[in-house]
Each structure stands twice: as C-alpha cells, then as structure tokens.
C-alpha cells in the first residue's frame, strides 16, 4: 500500500458502528472519518474527497439514497466509490442498489470484519 493512508468516510447514524469500522479499517492502515447522518456525511465527502464512502441507507436526517444521488450529481464526487451498508437485507433492495443505482457494492448488517475488508478490496482493487 502507498505511503498515504486511504481515506474512508463512513456515513452512519450509529456512533458505535463508526467506531467498529474505524477499529477494523484502522488496523489495515485506513483513515476513517465518521459522519453522524446524511447531511453531515455529504458535506464531509464534498470537503474531504475521500477514496471511498461507506454509506448507511436508513438515517433520520437524510437517507442514504439521497446522499448517493447528490454525490453522483456532483462532478467533484461522482467518481468516488460507494459501498452501501444497511440493515435492509431483503434481496430486492440489494438488486436495486447494485443494478439500478449502480452502487459499487452492498453489505448487509451485521457483517464480519472480513466481509467488510473483502468488499473494500473488490471495490478499490
């Protein structure tokens, strides 16, 4: 891996999930910035231009699909890969997420540390 840590923004309304992901990815040399909710997350992505966005779908202030659509509509953020992480595990949601919205990958909660790392490896190469 390069000298500079890959920067990941995790947009999630549960602080303990952000802490867990920060712990998992920190051991692999990633810098994880946590954003509490969609609005904060979108502005953090626009400001920091991370290498990857982990995005929860169900958040009270602004849902993940809205964040995703605004990212894709913005020239500066449209090419940042997005992995959707959600408790909505129904297969129809996964199909919608991957094929219609064209997210880069999709993880259902709960996920294992290895599933998260595999997904990031798949998306970032």
CATH number at residue 24: 3.40.50.2300
The reply to whether the predicted model has a pTM over 0.85 is: yes
- Report if residue 95 sits inside a domain: yes
C-alpha dihedral (90, 92, 93, 99), degrees to nearest 10: 140
- Report if residue 72 sits inside a domain: yes
- Report if residue 1 sits inside a domain: no
- Report if residue 109 sits inside a domain: yes
- Report if residue 16 sits inside a domain: yes
pLDDT surpasses 90 at 1: no
Region of 40 on the Ramachandran plot (φ > 0 left; ψ -120 to 50 alpha; else beta): alpha
- Report if residue 47 sits inside a domain: yes
Q: Structural domain tally of the chain?
A: 1
Domain that holds residue 77: 7-124
- Report if residue 44 sits inside a domain: yes
| Arithmetic mean of pLDDT, 106-122 | 94
pLDDT surpasses 70 at 115: yes
Contacts of 71 (CB under 8 A, 6+ apart): 42, 45, 53, 77, 78, 80, 82
Q: Is 91 exposed, middle or buried (0-12, 13-18, 19+ CB in 10 A)?
A: exposed
- Report if residue 53 sits inside a domain: yes
- pLDDT tens profile 66-113: 999 999 999 999 999 999 887 765 556 666 666 667 789 888 888 999
């Amino acid at each position: 891996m390069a000298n500079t840590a890959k920067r990941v923004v995790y947009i999630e309304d549960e602080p303990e999930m952000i802490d867990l992901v920060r712990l998992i990815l920190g051991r692999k040399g990633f810098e994880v910035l946590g954003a509490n909710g969609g609005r904060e997350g979108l502005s953090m992505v626009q400001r920091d231009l991370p290498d990857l966005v982990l995005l929860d779908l169900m958040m009270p202030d602004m849902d993940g699909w809205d964040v995703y659509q605004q990212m894709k509509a913005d020239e500066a953020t449209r090419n940042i890969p997005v992995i959707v992480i959600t408790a909505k595990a129904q297969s129809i949601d996964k199909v919608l997420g991957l094929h219609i919205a064209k997210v880069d990958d999709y993880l259902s909660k709960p996920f294992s540390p290895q599933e998260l790392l595999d997904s990031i490896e798949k998306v970032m190469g």
